[in-house]
Amino acid sequence: MGQLHNNNLVYLPEARDIAINILKNGGKIHLHVISESMQPCLLPGDIIQISSVNPINLHLGDMIVFQRGSELITHRLLKWDLSGYFTKGDSSLGLDDRVLGDSIIGVVEEINRNGHIIILKGNYYKIIARALGWLEFRKSQAYLQYKEALEFPVSGKRIINLVRQSKLLFYRLVIIVNRFSIKFIHLYV
């Protein structure tokens, strides 16, 4: 089993290919987080340890690494079915495009934030990860319903406008409550 440590070298095509091969052969790699898509759980500058994984062993809420084009993306797993896996960054509202199983190359096992190691393997983390996965999925669903409510054809009748306004208010409230819940849970990760 190999190990790869880097300082953003993985974004060079050759280094990325080496990292993917290490993971596909059962190894582990360490990468620097450069994106804000997983805030507040992962911050730019954090170093994450990624281990190889068989997609059938993934669980709701796991932070997975997958390849999309020339990029390696780390997002939270929210749902899967026979057609693929559905992920999203914690700081975004909507789901990503479907991820195929052969694009998944690893799962995040540890976070190193300024020398403080956060291990993501124990039962405590599993409970929090599942809760985060569920909350993030609900947030993305509320966002989609909110967008649909905005497109609701308004006919001129007052009752339809009131229903539309109450739907919008409800979906905004769900999104706000989920954001606060996620920030509260992230305090304990």
pLDDT digits (tens, 9 = 90+) for 129-151: 888 888 888 888 877 777 776 66
Specify whether 31 is located in the same domain as 111: yes
User: In whole angstroms, what is the distance from residue 36 CA to residue 101 CA?
Assistant: 24
Claim to verify: residue 17 and residue 68 sit in the same structural domain: yes
Total-model pTM? 0.75
Domain boundary (82, 100, 119) is at 119
One-letter identity of residue 2: G
Tokens of 147: 């967008």
For residues 97 and 147, membership in a common domain is answered with: no
Could you read off the pLDDT of 81-121 as tens digits, one per residue?
A: 999 999 999 888 888 999 999 999 999 999 999 998 888 88
Which of residues 67, 84, 119 is at a domain's end? 119
CA angle 18, 21, 77 (to 5 degrees): 110
Q: Which backbone phi and psi does 82 adopt, to 5 degrees? A: -65, -20
Among residues of the chain, what percentage have pLDDT more than 70? 72
